[in-house]
């Protein structure tokens, strides 16, 4: 049974509108009903639970901020964040699916696509009929996507796409892929690749110890014929995929709070019930230190992220501000997961509780969408004006 009680130490709910609370509570209820009962088995079996796709669409997790005329939920950025928080409370892999679909597939089509592309893809992505993926990372270019070698060549009435992407969430079953590739001038373009195109394959990556309920794979392109109308016409250059990452990283900042909340809530309940030396372990100073530090860090992250949401709604959130929140919150959640696991003793290593699954998932979350180091370097560049990457 899912007993989750969300911590709200500083009355953050007072800062939310009625709509935010309605959207958040609907997502919370859906996670309790549809994710919590099945997610442990899906993770143990390393199988993406396809049954959740319709529910994700119903709670507005596919394109929360995409206008309703294209099938999106037409919500603001705080509602988007709250949905991600609730989903990641269930599992980071499920949140990954929603993040990729919304911010890495629908976002570029909505912001850089033609009207025909928006009409063709957005409503089907919003209702879950189509699932998409986003190919930026390559075997030799992870933190440095500017070096990518995947390329398109103009053949008159079409392009030919060649290359490979690696570590791509949703790749094994995605209906479409937003792929970033260089043209003959070395300019990065966004390409919509559809499953079934000749020369396009998506082998699955096996043996992960992290994000086991999310399917990860490669995207391989061998002379794939791309119709010219499948190129995103309205933005090119590295800034195009980086713009999508801003939106996804913002959602992850919220999502990580959800995972942290779940670990804290579980550890608190367990510590109050677990008797050792004739008293609850929650009554010992050592366990109180762990729990008190957890709620302090969650509260700080909630305040940081809510403020970021306000800035995002006003169109003022910068890439560097988003990096700070992604980096801080994922690191915070991972540390809380490790501490919470210890509070549970041996029980903490079993699938009876979600903590170890959260901990292992967060090892991917701290690496993808820009590693912990890269986000620190983005802050460093922002405050000094000097990029230290190169």
Helices (H), ranges, 63-112? 77-90, 92-99, 107-112
Q: Give least dist CB 376 to ligand FAD, A.
A: 9
Number of residues that bind ligand TGC (CB under 6 A): 27
- Choose from ligand TGC, ligand FAD, none: what does 216 bind? Cβ within 5-8 Å by kind: ligand FAD
Query: Quick check: is 369 catalytic?
Result: yes
Query: Which one from 86, 218, 297, 369 is the annotated catalytic residue?
Result: 369
Question: CA-to-CA distance for 58 and 141, rounded, in angstroms?
Answer: 36
Residue listed under structure tokens 């119903």: 58
Burial string for 108-121 (b: 16+ CB within 10 Å, else e) reads bbbbbbeeebbebb
Strands 176-182 and 132-135: parallel
Question: CA-to-CA distance for 227 and 194, rounded, in angstroms?
Answer: 11
Beta strand residue intervals within 18-148, DSSP E: 132-135
Q: Give least dist CB 314 to ligand FAD, A.
A: 28
- Choose from ligand FAD, ligand TGC, none: what does 242 bind? Cβ within 5-8 Å by kind: ligand TGC
Give the one residue of 111, 162, 201, 371 binding ligand FAD; rule: CB under 6 A: 371
Question: CA-to-CA distance for 246 and 241, rounded, in angstroms?
Answer: 9
Give the one residue of 102, 103, 117, 137 binding ligand FAD; rule: CB under 6 A: 137
Q: Give least dist CB 269 to ligand FAD, A.
A: 30
Question: In terms of Cα–Cα distance, which of 338, 329, 343, 379 is closest to 360?
Answer: 338
Q: Select the span of 34-42, 43-51, 161-169, 284-292 touching ligand FAD (CB under 6 A).
A: 161-169
- Choose from ligand TGC, ligand FAD, none: what does 34 bind? Cβ within 5-8 Å by kind: none
172 binds ligand TGC (CB under 6 A): no
Question: CA-to-CA distance for 334 and 347, rounded, in angstroms?
Answer: 18
- Choose from ligand FAD, ligand TGC, none: what does 147 bind? Cβ within 5-8 Å by kind: none
142 binds ligand FAD (CB under 6 A): yes
Give the one residue of 145, 199, 280, 380 binding ligand TGC; rule: CB under 6 A: 145
**How far is the CA of 232 from the CAs of 101, 108, 236, in angstroms?**
16, 8, 8
Question: In terms of Cα–Cα distance, which of 129, 131, 190 is closest to 165?
Answer: 190
Question: CA-to-CA distance for 11 and 37, rounded, in angstroms?
Answer: 29
Question: In terms of Cα–Cα distance, which of 9, 5, 76 is closest to 310?
Answer: 76
Using Cβ positions, the residue closest to ligand FAD within the complex turns out to be 142
Q: Give least dist CB 130 to ligand FAD, A.
A: 16
Q: Give least dist CB 148 to ligand FAD, A.
A: 10
136 binds ligand FAD (CB under 6 A): yes
Binding site for ligand FAD (CB under 6 A): 100, 133-137, 142-143, 167-169, 211, 216, 364, 367-369, 371, 373-374, 389
Q: Which residues are marked as active site?
A: 369
Binding site for ligand TGC (CB under 6 A): 96, 99-100, 134, 136-137, 143-146, 169, 237-239, 242-243, 245-246, 248, 319, 368-370, 374, 378, 387, 389
């Amino acid at each position: 049974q899912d007993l989750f009680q969300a911590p709200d130490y500083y009355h953050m709910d007072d800062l939310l509108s009625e709509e935010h609370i309605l959207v958040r509570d609907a997502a919370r209820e859906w996670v309790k009903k549809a994710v919590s009962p099945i997610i442990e088995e899906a993770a143990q079996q390393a199988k993406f639970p396809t049954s959740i796709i319709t529910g994700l669409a119903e709670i507005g997790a596919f394109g929360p901020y995409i206008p309703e005329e294209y099938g999106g939920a037409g919500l603001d950025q705080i509602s988007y964040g709250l949905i991600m928080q609730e989903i990641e409370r269930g599992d980071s892999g499920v949140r990954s699916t929603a993040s990729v679909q919304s911010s890495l597939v629908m976002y570029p089509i909505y912001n850089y696509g033609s009207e025909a592309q928006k009409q063709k893809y957005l409503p089907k992505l919003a209702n879950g009929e189509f699932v998409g993926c986003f190919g930026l990372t390559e075997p030799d270019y992870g933190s440095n996507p500017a070096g990518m070698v995947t390329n398109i060549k103009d053949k008159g009435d079409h392009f030919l796409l060649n290359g490979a992407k690696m570590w791509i969430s949703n790749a094994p079953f995605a209906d479409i892929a937003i792929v970033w590739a260089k043209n003959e001038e070395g300019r990065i373009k966004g390409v919509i690749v559809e499953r079934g195109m000749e020369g396009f394959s998506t082998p699955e990556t096996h043996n992960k110890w992290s994000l086991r309920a999310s399917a990860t794979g490669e995207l391989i392109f061998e002379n794939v014929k791309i119709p010219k109308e499948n190129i995103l016409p309205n933005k090119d250059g590295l800034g195009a995929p980086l713009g999508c990452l801003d939106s996804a990283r913002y959602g992850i900042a919220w999502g990580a709070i959800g995972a942290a909340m779940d670990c804290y809530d579980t550890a608190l309940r367990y510590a109050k019930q677990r008797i050792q030396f004739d008293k609850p372990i929650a009554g010992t100073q050592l366990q109180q230190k762990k729990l008190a530090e957890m709620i302090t860090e969650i509260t700080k992250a909630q305040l940081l992220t809510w403020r970021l949401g306000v800035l995002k709604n006003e169109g003022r959130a910068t890439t560097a501000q988003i990096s700070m929140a992604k980096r801080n919150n994922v690191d915070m959640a991972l540390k809380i997961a490790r501490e919470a696991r210890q509070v549970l003793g041996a029980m903490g290593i079993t699938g009876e509780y979600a903590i170890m699954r959260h901990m292992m998932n967060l090892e991917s979350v701290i690496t993808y969408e820009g590693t912990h180091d890269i986000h620190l370097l983005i802050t460093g560049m922002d405050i000094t004006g000097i990029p230290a990457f190169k």
